[in-house]
Amino acid sequence: MNAMKIASIVSGIVFALYAVLLLVWLWGDNISWETFVKVSITAAVIIIVTMGLALLYREYIEEKEMKKEKYLD
């Protein structure tokens, strides 16, 4: 499984869980504003770091392997 596929799955799961939290926060009164902001920042950081690492992996590792196997010039 390549890095971008794994990163997309992880980011999608985090995004879906965040959407559920957002709906719970909007319709319920049991989550404080401070907690909601902390979870929002955490979710954004996880998504950005996951996709960033996947892009770095793709650029350096997978393209290096493709050049080694003569797929790229």
Confidence check: pLDDT of 12 > 70: yes
pLDDT at 73: 57
One-letter identity of residue 71 = Y
Can you tell me the distance from the alpha carbon of 73 to that of 68, in angstroms, rounded to the nearest whole number?
A: 9
What pTM did the predictor assign?
0.72
Average pLDDT over residues 12-30: 90
List pLDDT tens digits, range 29-72. 788 889 889 989 999 999 999 999 988 888 887 777 777 777 76
58 CB neighbour count, 10 Å cutoff: 14
